[in-house]
Amino acid sequence: MTSPDLVPLRRALISVSDKTGLIELGQALAARGVHILSTGGSAQRLAEAGVPVTEVGDHTGFPEMMDGRVKTLHPRIHGGILARRDDEGHVAAMNAHDIPGIDLVVVNLYPFEATVAKGADFETCIENIDIGGPSLIRGAAKNHDFVAVVTDPSDYAPLLAELAAHDGQTTLDLRRRLAAKAYARTGAYDAAIGAWFANRLGQTWPESVTVSGTLRQTLRYGENPHQTAAFYVTGERRPGIATATQLQGKELSYNNLNDTDAAFELVAEFERPAIAIIKHANPCGVAEGDDLPGAYARALACDPVSAFGGIIAANRTLDAVTAEAISRLFAEVVIAPDADEAARAVLASKKNLRVLLTGDLPNPAQAGTLIKTVAGGFLAQSRDDGRVLPTDLKVVTKRGPTPKELADLLFAFRVGKHVKSNAIVYAKDLATVGIGAGQMSRVDSSRIAAIKSREAAQAAGLSEPGTKGSVVASDAFFPFADGLIAAAEAGVTAVIQPGGSMRDQEVIDAADERGLAMVFTGMRHFRH
């Protein structure tokens, strides 16, 4: 059977939890002579606004019952939605049982996700699982040849515009687009319920899992111009790029979003004022300080060449002095919890600089799930929320670290958690002075980080590289002593690493021979 293009809208069913735009929609439909059926609070709102409306209970001959659990689950409702108007048998059944056709279903669901996010108790969450709403939506979407379904108040205006353009009729194209959106909504809704149930049952990895998101932005392209891309948000309440307000600058790209997320997650690791500068998802400079201007200067000094065109993240409200310093560097994005008025004015002079304000910092110790796609499926793991404290450390060398070395070691290890493996981080005075990232061998990371430090020192006119008198962190154990030896040759005095290699004693002996202090954390921070 051929689907009709234009379908007249004569009768609508409206049952919404979110009343945004409800009155305006009802008035516009009523002005077109559309007969409106409605339930509970929606019907009351419409009636109070003077919109002619028929209660669903009056339409079906059955009152709402069981605290509203049963109101639209009735043949006179679902028959009117599901009946094909071009099927003689369907039409005969409608006539025999006095079932009028319903041409538009406007439903948004009980706010289950919002209820869970508020920390409601089990029974309250259960009562906010919508039953009739998804049934109405799915039925209307299935019969989109004849029925339009609207699940989002943002679609009221396009619907009304279509009716105006086609003399009170909807097009097949619109009905199909609305049906696709409707199924996506019910799928996301069920996914949220399933995830909540699994969590309540203590199922870390349930037998089946669905990942859902809402389109935030269609991106110009992906990592490369020949790739398409989009940014979806999941509703997770974690401060960052999904919660940020963009004050200014060009549209964010795929790579911008990825790198900015990495930068902000890193800078949130620190309690004191801190700056992280990221390039290609790896830090090229990180520092803590008494204030942001000092932290920024020392973060930039680690690798000013790589910082060009990078992402700058702060864990405090941006001030004018820091903004002035940032404005002297070509950067793609600046992200911070906030910025004072003076800082905003300074950054506004850099019109192409993207400035994001998040309102808060993500909690590094907060649990969460990370997902990576692979051929035919995806890998899921818990967020790396591990944090090493001084009490977790085991001194394995003859000499233990000094208090200053210990502070630098913990700082370097936190940074190393956010560096692509194999990761080596040299640090001194709570600032990185050399970073080696993503190498196939750990010794190469040690050497590259030392080379970068020497180059930065030469460019700054310093007599020796920052690695002299620094400490070094390794994200995983040294499989051989060569990586540690390379770090010792660069001038480190102390080492932090997870330990656990078959050659740990060989590495410990090499540290002792050179008078280094070394501590084991017992925790690895691979980042692939």
How would DSSP label each residue in 336-351?
ES-B-HHHHHHHHTST
Question: Binning pLDDT at 50, 70 and 90, where does residue 77 land?
Answer: confident
Spatial CA neighbour of 472 closest among 523, 420, 522, 401: 401
In the set 142, 181, 250, 468, the catalytic residue is 142
Burial class (CB in 10 A: 0-12, 13-18, 19+), 333: buried
**Strand arrangement, sheet containing 11-16:** 54-55, 35-38, 11-16, 104-108, 148-150
Report pLDDT for 70. 66
The three-class DSSP label of residue 473 is strand
Active site residue 280: yes
Number of Cβ within 10 Å of residue 71's Cβ equals 21
* pTM, to two decimals: 0.86
Per-residue pLDDT, averaged over 373-388, amounts to 93
Residue with the bigger pLDDT between 211 and 282: it is 282
Residue 400 main-chain phi, psi, to 5 deg: -90, 160
Spatial CA neighbour of 190 closest among 169, 174, 212: 212
In the set 166, 181, 280, 404, the catalytic residue is 280
Judged against a pLDDT cut of 90, whether residue 150 lies above it is answered with yes
8 A C-beta contact, residue 352 and residue 250: yes
CA 75 to chain CA centroid, nearest Å:
42
The three-class DSSP label of residue 477 is coil
Residue with the bigger pLDDT between 1 and 39: it is 39
Distance CA 432, CA 298 (A): 8
Report pLDDT for 307. 95
Amino acid at 149: V
Residues 6 or more apart in contact with residue 429 via CB below 8 angstroms: 298, 408
C-alpha dihedral sign at 318, 319, 325, 327:
positive
Quickly tell me which residue has 């009155």 as its tokens: 23
Report pLDDT for 58. 77
Report pLDDT for 91. 87
Report pLDDT for 384. 94
Report pLDDT for 69. 65
104-108 and 148-150 strand pairing: parallel
> Could you give all domains of the chain from N- to C-terminal order, each with its CATH number?
6-201 (3.40.50.1380), 221-357 (3.40.140.20), 390-520 (3.40.140.20)
Per-residue pLDDT, averaged over 468-472, amounts to 97
Question: Binning pLDDT at 50, 70 and 90, where does residue 98 land?
Answer: confident
Question: Binning pLDDT at 50, 70 and 90, where does residue 41 land?
Answer: confident
Report pLDDT for 16. 93
Report pLDDT for 308. 95
The residues with which 495 forms a beta bridge, in sequence order, are 472, 518
pLDDT digits (tens, 9 = 90+) for 406-437: 999 999 999 999 999 999 999 999 999 999 99
Active site residue 142: yes
pLDDT, mean over the chain: 93
8 A C-beta contact, residue 399 and residue 511: no
The three-class DSSP label of residue 124 is helix
Judged against a pLDDT cut of 80, whether residue 61 lies above it is answered with no
The residues with which 288 forms a beta bridge, in sequence order, are 274
Distance CA 133, CA 106 (A): 9
Judged against a pLDDT cut of 90, whether residue 68 lies above it is answered with no
Judged against a pLDDT cut of 70, whether residue 67 lies above it is answered with no
pLDDT digits (tens, 9 = 90+) for 157-193: 999 999 999 999 999 999 999 999 999 999 999 999 9
8 A C-beta contact, residue 497 and residue 478: yes
Report pLDDT for 71. 66
pLDDT digits (tens, 9 = 90+) for 298-335: 999 999 999 999 999 999 999 999 999 999 999 999 99
Q: Which two tokens stand for residue 285?
A: 């400079």
Number of Cβ within 10 Å of residue 468's Cβ equals 17
Alpha helices in 153-285 (DSSP H): 156-165, 172-200, 254-267
Report pLDDT for 2. 56
Distance CA 257, CA 333 (A): 9
pLDDT digits (tens, 9 = 90+) for 402-414: 999 999 999 999 9
Spatial CA neighbour of 32 closest among 131, 170, 152: 170
Report pLDDT for 44. 92
Question: Binning pLDDT at 50, 70 and 90, where does residue 238 land?
Answer: very high
Distance CA 352, CA 249 (A): 4
Per-residue pLDDT, averaged over 368-373, amounts to 91
Report pLDDT for 414. 97
Distance CA 64, CA 57 (A): 6
Distance CA 456, CA 104 (A): 66
pLDDT digits (tens, 9 = 90+) for 121-139: 999 999 999 888 899 999 9
Amino acid at 392: D
